[in-house]
């Protein structure tokens, strides 16, 4: 290679590095905590119509008893406050020095797309209940990413236009007015599932899934963790939950 060719090659590599560094972060419109919208999304894409998302009316024992059974996943929406951020940093620092046991059967996606937490919670609910997902987009995503790392799964989702279109449809068909992409959103969705008799908290923006230990009553155990979120910021009222249940 001549000196001139070497210089051109170096310039091309520098350009590639610049493109990688300045790669814009994808940003989606946020989803509502709306079971009607989520049910339309899942039932039109292969999920067993006997299973649906339903509102959780409260986190006390009486309200939890009203949820149709069985329940295979729960989605929780909460405000991302400073108190939560402080707790998150302390918890992750602790878990980095006290390694968790994570089931190899757990499916976890990293979230790299802004405002995609609602779809991530939905995807975590379905991917960890694959037996309820028939042919369609979600099965394709689950199958395509089965042997990937969480980071590779996140990259895969960035390059999945069908999921982006489905998410946009959901974001534009809620009850509230569709916001602009420039708005700042602090509320955040996470998912709870039970895998190999352990309760997991799945949030693709975190460093790893959280194993909350052995669970003998999934709904009660998940609600206990949700109440801890509320207790950290009791003056906030933007908490809600959906249960993925057998409703027919």
Catalytic residue among 124, 167, 188, 198: 188
Structure tokens at 167: 């998410």
Catalytic residue among 117, 124, 167, 191: 117
Structure tokens at 1: 């290679």
CA distance to 78, 83, 85, 128, per residue, from 88 (Å): 13, 9, 5, 24
117-127 helix and 137-145 helix, angle to the nearest 10 degrees: 80
- 100 contacts: CB under 8 Å, gap ≥ 6: 208, 210, 211
Selection from 52, 54, 51, 78 nearest residue 64 by Cα: 54
Active site residue 117: yes
Catalytic residues: 117, 188
């Amino acid at each position: 290679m001549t000196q001139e060719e070497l210089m051109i090659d170096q310039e091309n590599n520098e350009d590639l590095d610049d493109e990688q560094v300045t790669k814009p972060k994808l940003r989606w419109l946020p989803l509502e905590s709306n079971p009607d919208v989520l049910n339309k999304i899942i039932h039109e894409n292969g999920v067993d119509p006997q299973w649906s998302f339903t509102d959780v009316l409260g986190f006390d024992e009486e309200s939890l008893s009203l949820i149709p059974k069985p329940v295979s996943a729960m989605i929780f929406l909460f405000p991302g406050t400073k108190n939560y951020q402080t707790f998150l940093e302390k918890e992750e620092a602790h878990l980095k020095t006290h390694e968790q046991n994570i089931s190899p059967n757990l499916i976890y996606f990293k979230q790299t797309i802004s405002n995609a937490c609602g779809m991530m919670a939905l995807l975590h609910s379905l991917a960890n209940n694959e037996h309820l997902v028939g042919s369609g987009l979600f099965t394709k995503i689950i199958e395509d990413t089965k042997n990937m790392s969480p980071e590779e799964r996140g990259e895969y989702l960035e390059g999945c236009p069908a999921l982006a279109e489905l998410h946009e449809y959901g974001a534009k068909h809620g009850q509230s007015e569709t916001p602009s992409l420039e708005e700042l959103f602090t509320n955040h969705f996470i998912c709870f599932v039970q895998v190999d008799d352990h309760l997991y908290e799945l949030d693709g923006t975190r460093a790893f899934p959280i194993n909350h230990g052995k669970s003998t009553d999934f709904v009660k155990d998940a609600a206990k963790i949700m109440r801890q979120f509320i207790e950290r910021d009791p003056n906030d009222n933007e908490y809600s939950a959906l249960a993925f249940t057998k409703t027919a």
